[in-house]
Amino acid sequence: MRQAKRGGGRAGALAALAAMAAASPAAADCVYGPVTFCDGCTLSRDIKVKTNDVCEFVGYVNNGSFRGFEIVQRPKLGKFGINSPTFAGYRAGAKPGADRFVYKVKWEVSGRVNTVTLVNNVTIHN
């Protein structure tokens, strides 16, 4: 079951950007809640994933243009990568434990580029 963890923020940005969600069967063993983006915010979410499994993150915008991801902090136990301007993924390592990675998401609305920082707290389990 996915549960949302939402942060506060400016109303225009909240309406402009939707959630990031796991989008494929490969992500069935990856559990996390969607977030609602807000410009300048730092949002935190918990992710639970089985060892060696993958979490996929797809960015999309309701009323604007998605501008991509920027890695701020790489994970220690798994790997996080950006596959395209709108698609990123995390692969858990073979060892259970706590991991963390941070990335920024950028999007444009009405000619203005917005940025949110996502802190991802990962529990890797068997």
Residue 6 located in a structural domain: no
Residue 3 located in a structural domain: no
Residue 18 located in a structural domain: yes
Q: What is the pTM of this model?
A: 0.78
Domain count, the chain: 1
Vertex 7: Cα angle to 102 and 29 (nearest 5): 55
Residue 5 located in a structural domain: no
Q: Which residues form the domain of 72?
A: 11-125
pLDDT exceeds 70 at position 23: no
Domain of 54, CATH number, reads 2.60.40
pLDDT in tens, 104-115: 999 999 999 999
Q: What is the dihedral of CA 79, 70, 115, 73, to 10 degrees?
A: 50
* Cross-strand pairs, 37: none
Contact 108, 67 (CB under 8 A): yes
- In the chain, what percentage of residues exceed pLDDT 90? 62
Per DSSP, the residues of 32-67 read E------TT-EEEEEEEEETT-EEEEE--BSSSEEE
Residue 21's pLDDT band (cuts 50, 70, 90): very low
Q: What are the backbone dihedrals phi and psi of residue 27, each rounded to the nearest 5 degrees, phi first?
A: -90, 10
pLDDT in tens, 49-91: 999 999 998 887 777 899 999 999 999 999 999 988 889 999 9
Residue 39 located in a structural domain: yes
What is the rounded distance in angstroms from the CA atom of residue 65 to the CA atom of residue 67?
6
Residue 2 located in a structural domain: no
